[in-house]
Amino acid sequence: MHTIEPYYKWRDLYAAEHDERSPFYGREYNEFSFTQKVYNYFIHPQWDDFGSSTLYAKILFVDYSSQFAIIECIGEWNDCLHNDIMFMMRNIVEPLMECDIKYFALACENVLNFHASDDCYYEEWREEVAHYGGWISFVNTLKHVQEEMQHVGLQFHINVGPDFNDVHWRGRKPQHLFEELERRINSSIPQLGY
């Protein structure tokens, strides 16, 4: 796992550690010291710790004028034991929402497992962004992760599932990814109950 880096080809467009509005502003990275782990496996030092012991993230891009953020995740998303969604909400999502971000795309291809608790934080997140016409999309979740999320009804709060699992976002411009997700979400809204 230590060789899996957060996507870096947008770094000339955005770097969270240089953004004064980012929750990771001022963070410094040591490329030669591996200290963070998911269980017994070291992960690349570019991933950001936001309070979870098994899930890490990287804010890849934020566009404050278009009000969207793209976040990549790695590890095990465990709401059952560690309440990871609470840490995600309090330490990443809420600071971004305070800066008027209302569209959230989370790249989840490196989320290896999902263990559910209840859906309260997801419902709260959806209600807050939907109030301003926003949305949340989990992109490219692994099949068993998607099934676990849908088993607890997260599809009623976030855009997740087959319509969002074939998104080729790497190598595209962030704005193109946003437009693609917006198109997919607008074509699936009646099914979600937004």
Look at residue 38 in the predicted model and tell me its pLDDT.
Answer: 84
Tell whether 145 is covered by a domain: no
pTM for the predicted model, two decimal places? 0.94
Q: Residue 48 — pLDDT band, cuts 50, 70, 90?
A: very high
- Name all contacts of 10-14 with Cβ < 8 Å and 24+ positions apart: 10/60, 10/61, 10/174, 13/61, 13/174, 14/59, 14/60, 14/61, 14/62, 14/174
Look at residue 194 in the predicted model and tell me its pLDDT.
Answer: 44
Contact call for residues 59 and 47 (beta carbons, < 8 A):
no
Structural domain of residue 29, as residue ranges? 16-107+118-134
Tell whether 170 is covered by a domain: no
Q: How many domains does the chain divide into?
A: 1
Tell whether 148 is covered by a domain: no
**Three-state DSSP class for 105?**
strand
In tens, the pLDDT along 55-91 reads 999 999 999 999 999 999 999 999 999 999 999 999 9
Q: Residue 124 above 70 pLDDT?
A: yes
Tell whether 87 is covered by a domain: yes
Tell whether 158 is covered by a domain: no
**Three-state DSSP class for 192?**
helix
Tell whether 190 is covered by a domain: no
Tell whether 185 is covered by a domain: no
